[in-house]
Structure 1
Protein backbone atom coordinates (compact mmCIF):
# COMPACT_ATOMS: atom_id res chain seq x y z
CA UNK A 1 0.00 0.00 0.00
CA UNK A 2 1.03 3.64 -0.31
CA UNK A 3 2.46 4.08 3.19
CA UNK A 4 4.13 0.67 3.44
CA UNK A 5 7.90 0.37 3.41
CA UNK A 6 10.40 -2.37 2.66
CA UNK A 7 13.14 -3.39 5.08
CA UNK A 8 16.66 -2.74 3.80
CA UNK A 9 17.68 -5.37 1.27
CA UNK A 10 21.20 -5.71 -0.04
CA UNK A 11 21.12 -7.79 -3.22
CA UNK A 12 24.93 -8.04 -3.42
CA UNK A 13 25.25 -9.71 -0.01
CA UNK A 14 22.22 -11.94 -0.53
CA UNK A 15 22.96 -13.11 -4.08
CA UNK A 16 22.21 -16.82 -4.58
CA UNK A 17 20.69 -17.10 -1.10
CA UNK A 18 17.00 -17.29 -0.31
CA UNK A 19 16.26 -14.47 2.10
CA UNK A 20 12.93 -13.03 3.08
CA UNK A 21 12.03 -9.41 2.45
CA UNK A 22 9.73 -7.85 5.03
CA UNK A 23 7.24 -5.14 4.10
CA UNK A 24 6.11 -2.92 6.97
CA UNK A 25 2.96 -0.80 7.31
CA UNK A 26 3.04 2.78 8.57
CA UNK A 27 2.55 1.57 12.16
CA UNK A 28 5.77 -0.46 11.89
CA UNK A 29 4.10 -3.88 11.80
CA UNK A 30 5.04 -6.49 9.20
CA UNK A 31 2.36 -6.65 6.48
CA UNK A 32 3.94 -9.04 4.02
CA UNK A 33 6.92 -11.38 3.90
CA UNK A 34 8.24 -11.85 0.37
CA UNK A 35 10.37 -14.87 -0.41
CA UNK A 36 12.29 -14.33 -3.64
CA UNK A 37 13.76 -16.94 -5.96
CA UNK A 38 17.44 -16.51 -6.67
CA UNK A 39 18.97 -17.86 -9.80
CA UNK A 40 22.56 -18.01 -10.99
CA UNK A 41 22.22 -14.69 -12.76
CA UNK A 42 20.93 -11.27 -11.84
CA UNK A 43 17.24 -12.17 -12.35
CA UNK A 44 15.34 -12.08 -9.07
CA UNK A 45 11.70 -13.17 -9.04
CA UNK A 46 9.15 -13.67 -6.29
CA UNK A 47 8.51 -17.23 -5.14
CA UNK A 48 5.79 -16.55 -2.58
CA UNK A 49 4.31 -13.89 -0.34
CA UNK A 50 3.06 -14.48 3.17
CA UNK A 51 0.06 -12.27 3.93
CA UNK A 52 0.08 -10.95 7.51
CA UNK A 53 -2.11 -7.85 7.23
CA UNK A 54 -5.90 -8.15 6.73
CA UNK A 55 -5.93 -5.14 4.40
CA UNK A 56 -4.59 -7.44 1.67
CA UNK A 57 -7.57 -9.37 0.27
CA UNK A 58 -8.43 -11.33 -2.83
CA UNK A 59 -11.27 -10.12 -5.05
CA UNK A 60 -13.54 -12.56 -3.21
CA UNK A 61 -12.57 -11.21 0.22
CA UNK A 62 -10.05 -13.84 1.34
CA UNK A 63 -7.55 -12.43 3.86
CA UNK A 64 -5.55 -13.58 6.88
CA UNK A 65 -8.58 -12.67 9.03
CA UNK A 66 -10.93 -14.90 7.03
CA UNK A 67 -12.18 -18.25 8.21
CA UNK A 68 -12.66 -21.60 6.49
CA UNK A 69 -16.20 -20.67 5.40
CA UNK A 70 -14.77 -17.88 3.19
CA UNK A 71 -12.68 -20.45 1.34
CA UNK A 72 -15.40 -23.07 1.11
CA UNK A 73 -17.99 -20.62 -0.30
CA UNK A 74 -15.69 -18.90 -2.82
CA UNK A 75 -12.96 -21.26 -3.99
CA UNK A 76 -12.29 -24.84 -5.03
CA UNK A 77 -10.00 -26.54 -2.53
CA UNK A 78 -7.59 -28.57 -4.63
CA UNK A 79 -5.78 -30.39 -1.85
CA UNK A 80 -5.99 -30.86 1.91
CA UNK A 81 -2.80 -32.03 3.60
CA UNK A 82 -2.83 -33.34 7.14
CA UNK A 83 0.30 -32.59 9.17
CA UNK A 84 1.14 -33.06 12.84
CA UNK A 85 -0.29 -29.77 14.15
CA UNK A 86 -2.14 -28.27 11.20
CA UNK A 87 -4.08 -28.73 8.00
CA UNK A 88 -2.75 -27.16 4.78
CA UNK A 89 -5.28 -26.16 2.13
CA UNK A 90 -4.20 -25.57 -1.48
CA UNK A 91 -6.25 -23.29 -3.73
CA UNK A 92 -4.67 -23.47 -7.17
CA UNK A 93 -7.07 -20.93 -8.71
CA UNK A 94 -5.29 -18.10 -6.88
CA UNK A 95 -1.99 -19.86 -6.10
CA UNK A 96 -2.72 -19.84 -2.37
CA UNK A 97 -2.09 -22.17 0.45
CA UNK A 98 -3.58 -21.67 3.86
CA UNK A 99 -2.72 -23.29 7.16
CA UNK A 100 -5.35 -23.96 9.83
CA UNK A 101 -4.24 -25.07 13.29
CA UNK A 102 -5.65 -28.46 14.24
CA UNK A 103 -6.79 -27.08 17.60
CA UNK A 104 -9.82 -25.73 15.68
CA UNK A 105 -10.77 -29.18 14.34
CA UNK A 106 -12.97 -31.84 15.94
CA UNK A 107 -11.05 -33.89 18.53
CA UNK A 108 -11.05 -37.07 16.40
CA UNK A 109 -8.94 -35.21 13.78
CA UNK A 110 -6.52 -33.35 16.05
CA UNK A 111 -4.14 -36.13 16.98
CA UNK A 112 -3.94 -38.30 13.86
CA UNK A 113 -1.66 -37.02 11.11
CA UNK A 114 -2.42 -40.06 8.94
CA UNK A 115 -6.20 -39.64 8.70
CA UNK A 116 -7.60 -38.12 5.51
CA UNK A 117 -9.32 -34.84 6.31
CA UNK A 118 -12.22 -33.73 4.11
CA UNK A 119 -13.43 -30.14 3.67
CA UNK A 120 -16.77 -30.92 5.34
CA UNK A 121 -14.90 -31.89 8.54
CA UNK A 122 -13.34 -28.44 8.99
CA UNK A 123 -15.55 -26.05 10.99
CA UNK A 124 -16.74 -22.93 9.13
CA UNK A 125 -15.34 -20.65 11.85
CA UNK A 126 -11.81 -22.17 11.80
CA UNK A 127 -9.40 -19.21 11.47
CA UNK A 128 -6.22 -19.11 9.44
CA UNK A 129 -2.84 -19.53 11.04
CA UNK A 130 -0.87 -18.69 7.87
CA UNK A 131 -1.81 -17.45 4.39
CA UNK A 132 0.58 -17.53 1.41
CA UNK A 133 0.28 -16.67 -2.26
CA UNK A 134 2.82 -18.43 -4.45
CA UNK A 135 3.98 -17.54 -7.93
CA UNK A 136 5.03 -19.90 -10.66
CA UNK A 137 8.49 -19.57 -12.15
CA UNK A 138 8.53 -17.97 -15.59
CA UNK A 139 9.40 -20.13 -18.58
CA UNK A 140 12.86 -18.90 -19.51
Structure 2
Protein backbone atom coordinates (compact mmCIF):
# COMPACT_ATOMS: atom_id res chain seq x y z
CA UNK A 1 0.00 0.00 0.00
CA UNK A 2 1.14 3.47 -0.74
CA UNK A 3 1.23 6.19 1.87
CA UNK A 4 -1.72 7.95 0.18
CA UNK A 5 -3.77 4.72 0.35
CA UNK A 6 -3.06 4.35 4.06
CA UNK A 7 -4.09 7.97 4.74
CA UNK A 8 -7.23 7.51 2.63
CA UNK A 9 -8.12 4.31 4.52
CA UNK A 10 -7.54 6.04 7.86
CA UNK A 11 -9.85 8.92 6.89
CA UNK A 12 -12.59 6.54 5.71
CA UNK A 13 -12.31 4.51 8.94
CA UNK A 14 -12.51 7.69 11.04
CA UNK A 15 -15.61 8.88 9.16
CA UNK A 16 -17.31 5.49 9.56
CA UNK A 17 -16.65 5.51 13.32
CA UNK A 18 -17.98 9.08 13.57
CA UNK A 19 -21.17 8.13 11.70
CA UNK A 20 -21.63 5.13 13.98
CA UNK A 21 -21.20 7.33 17.08
CA UNK A 22 -23.70 9.86 15.72
CA UNK A 23 -26.20 7.04 15.10
CA UNK A 24 -26.07 5.84 18.70
CA UNK A 25 -25.62 9.22 20.39
CA UNK A 26 -29.36 9.91 20.10
CA UNK A 27 -30.77 6.38 19.95
CA UNK A 28 -33.33 5.01 22.39
CA UNK A 29 -33.10 1.28 23.07
CA UNK A 30 -34.54 -1.03 25.70
CA UNK A 31 -31.59 -0.46 28.04
CA UNK A 32 -30.17 2.91 26.98
CA UNK A 33 -30.83 6.38 25.72
CA UNK A 34 -27.85 7.91 23.99
CA UNK A 35 -24.85 7.69 26.32
CA UNK A 36 -26.96 6.74 29.33
CA UNK A 37 -27.61 3.10 30.21
CA UNK A 38 -30.11 1.51 32.55
CA UNK A 39 -27.25 0.72 34.95
CA UNK A 40 -25.67 4.18 35.00
CA UNK A 41 -25.35 5.51 38.53
CA UNK A 42 -26.01 9.14 39.39
CA UNK A 43 -22.42 9.32 40.64
CA UNK A 44 -21.21 8.43 37.09
CA UNK A 45 -23.11 11.18 35.27
CA UNK A 46 -20.18 13.63 35.28
CA UNK A 47 -18.10 11.05 33.43
CA UNK A 48 -20.86 9.92 31.03
CA UNK A 49 -21.77 13.48 30.07
CA UNK A 50 -18.25 14.94 30.27
CA UNK A 51 -18.77 16.83 27.00
CA UNK A 52 -22.15 18.19 28.09
CA UNK A 53 -23.43 20.37 30.94
CA UNK A 54 -25.18 18.95 33.99
CA UNK A 55 -27.42 21.20 36.06
CA UNK A 56 -28.43 19.96 39.48
CA UNK A 57 -28.03 20.45 43.18
CA UNK A 58 -24.26 20.00 43.73
CA UNK A 59 -24.80 17.77 46.77
CA UNK A 60 -26.99 15.40 44.75
CA UNK A 61 -24.21 14.68 42.26
CA UNK A 62 -21.34 14.56 44.76
CA UNK A 63 -22.80 12.27 47.37
CA UNK A 64 -25.75 10.81 45.49
CA UNK A 65 -28.37 11.81 48.04
CA UNK A 66 -31.73 13.29 47.22
CA UNK A 67 -33.97 12.71 44.25
CA UNK A 68 -33.90 16.11 42.62
CA UNK A 69 -34.13 16.44 38.88
CA UNK A 70 -30.88 16.51 36.94
CA UNK A 71 -30.89 18.40 33.65
CA UNK A 72 -28.48 17.52 30.86
CA UNK A 73 -27.62 20.22 28.33
CA UNK A 74 -25.52 19.88 25.22
CA UNK A 75 -22.57 22.24 24.95
CA UNK A 76 -24.16 25.20 23.22
CA UNK A 77 -27.31 25.12 25.31
CA UNK A 78 -29.74 22.55 23.86
CA UNK A 79 -31.69 20.80 26.65
CA UNK A 80 -31.22 17.07 26.02
CA UNK A 81 -32.72 15.21 28.98
CA UNK A 82 -34.06 15.63 32.49
CA UNK A 83 -33.27 12.72 34.80
CA UNK A 84 -34.93 11.77 38.07
CA UNK A 85 -32.92 9.41 40.31
CA UNK A 86 -34.49 6.74 42.49
CA UNK A 87 -34.48 7.06 46.29
CA UNK A 88 -31.99 4.23 46.92
CA UNK A 89 -28.67 4.77 48.68
CA UNK A 90 -26.79 3.92 45.47
CA UNK A 91 -28.83 5.93 43.02
CA UNK A 92 -29.68 4.92 39.49
CA UNK A 93 -31.81 6.84 37.05
CA UNK A 94 -35.50 6.09 37.51
CA UNK A 95 -37.22 8.43 35.04
CA UNK A 96 -36.04 10.28 31.96
CA UNK A 97 -37.83 13.01 30.08
CA UNK A 98 -36.57 13.56 26.56
CA UNK A 99 -36.35 17.18 25.40
CA UNK A 100 -34.26 16.89 22.25
CA UNK A 101 -36.09 15.74 19.09
CA UNK A 102 -32.94 14.01 17.80
CA UNK A 103 -33.53 11.13 20.23
CA UNK A 104 -35.40 8.36 18.41
CA UNK A 105 -36.16 4.69 18.82
CA UNK A 106 -34.89 2.09 16.34
CA UNK A 107 -38.29 2.42 14.65
CA UNK A 108 -37.86 6.17 14.22
CA UNK A 109 -40.32 7.34 16.89
CA UNK A 110 -39.38 10.49 18.78
CA UNK A 111 -40.74 13.83 19.96
CA UNK A 112 -41.65 14.94 16.44
CA UNK A 113 -43.69 11.79 15.82
CA UNK A 114 -47.47 11.49 15.87
CA UNK A 115 -49.85 9.05 17.50
CA UNK A 116 -50.02 7.17 14.18
CA UNK A 117 -46.25 6.62 14.36
CA UNK A 118 -46.63 5.18 17.85
CA UNK A 119 -49.51 2.82 17.05
CA UNK A 120 -47.98 1.69 13.73
CA UNK A 121 -44.70 0.75 15.42
CA UNK A 122 -45.59 -0.43 18.93
CA UNK A 123 -48.37 -2.38 20.61
CA UNK A 124 -50.17 -0.24 23.18
CA UNK A 125 -50.56 -1.71 26.68
CA UNK A 126 -52.88 0.93 28.12
CA UNK A 127 -53.97 4.53 27.88
CA UNK A 128 -54.38 6.59 31.05
CA UNK A 129 -56.44 9.76 31.04
CA UNK A 130 -55.64 12.74 33.27
CA UNK A 131 -57.11 16.23 33.45
CA UNK A 132 -55.02 17.72 30.64
CA UNK A 133 -53.25 14.79 29.00
CA UNK A 134 -53.47 11.23 27.75
CA UNK A 135 -50.55 8.93 28.61
CA UNK A 136 -49.81 6.00 26.31
CA UNK A 137 -47.93 3.02 27.76
CA UNK A 138 -46.39 0.45 25.43
CA UNK A 139 -46.28 -3.32 25.84
CA UNK A 140 -42.84 -4.70 26.75
CA UNK A 141 -41.26 -1.25 26.83
CA UNK A 142 -40.24 1.36 29.39
CA UNK A 143 -41.20 4.14 26.96
CA UNK A 144 -44.36 6.11 27.43
CA UNK A 145 -45.80 9.08 25.60
CA UNK A 146 -48.00 11.97 26.66
CA UNK A 147 -50.42 13.65 24.29
CA UNK A 148 -52.13 16.91 25.24
CA UNK A 149 -55.92 16.65 25.32
CA UNK A 150 -56.01 19.72 23.06
CA UNK A 151 -54.97 17.29 20.29
CA UNK A 152 -58.20 15.31 20.81
CA UNK A 153 -61.70 16.01 19.51
CA UNK A 154 -63.47 18.62 21.65
CA UNK A 155 -65.88 16.04 23.08
CA UNK A 156 -62.95 14.23 24.77
CA UNK A 157 -60.99 17.21 26.10
CA UNK A 158 -62.79 17.82 29.37
CA UNK A 159 -62.98 15.55 32.39
CA UNK A 160 -60.35 13.21 33.80
CA UNK A 161 -62.84 10.38 34.22
CA UNK A 162 -63.38 9.91 30.49
CA UNK A 163 -61.70 6.69 29.39
CA UNK A 164 -60.06 7.31 26.06
CA UNK A 165 -59.24 4.47 23.70
CA UNK A 166 -56.67 4.36 20.94
CA UNK A 167 -59.30 4.59 18.20
CA UNK A 168 -60.43 7.95 19.61
CA UNK A 169 -57.00 9.58 19.33
CA UNK A 170 -56.43 11.26 15.95
CA UNK A 171 -53.54 9.88 13.89
CA UNK A 172 -52.00 13.34 13.61
CA UNK A 173 -52.00 13.99 17.40
CA UNK A 174 -48.57 15.29 18.36
CA UNK A 175 -46.45 13.95 21.21
CA UNK A 176 -46.15 16.39 24.10
CA UNK A 177 -43.72 14.35 26.26
CA UNK A 178 -41.55 11.32 25.63
CA UNK A 179 -40.56 9.59 28.84
CA UNK A 180 -38.69 6.48 29.96
CA UNK A 181 -39.34 4.83 33.30
CA UNK A 182 -36.67 2.39 34.46
CA UNK A 183 -37.36 0.29 37.53
TM-score normalized with structure 1 length = 0.85
Superposed displacement of residue 92, structure 1: 3.7
Q: Which runs of 5+ in 1 are unaligned?
A: none
Structure with the greater relative contact order (CA < 8 A, sep ≥ 6): 1 or 2?
1
Larger radius of gyration: 2
Residue deviations 1:9-54, cap 9 Å, x none? 4334661x21111111233021100111131x3x111101101101
Q: 2:67 aligns with which of 14, 18, 28?
A: 18
In structure 2, C-alpha distance between the alignment counterparts of 1:111 and 1:38, rounded to whole Å: 35
Return structure 1 stretches of 4+ with deviation > 4 angstroms: none
Query: Which has more helix, going by share of residues?
Result: 2
In structure 2, C-alpha distance between the alignment counterparts of 1:26 and 1:124, rounded to whole Å: 35
Greater shift in the superposed pair: 52-61 or 112-121: 112-121
Does 2:109 correspond to 1:109? no
Greater shift in the superposed pair: 54-63 or 107-116: 107-116
State how many pairs are aligned. Answer: 133
Does 2:179 correspond to 1:132? yes
Please provide the CA RMSD for this pair.
1.8
Alignment of 1:1-140 (within 5 A): 1=25, 3-7=51-55, 9-10=58-59, 11-12=61-62, 15=65, 17-39=66-88, 41=89, 43-136=90-183
TM-score normalized with structure 2 length = 0.67
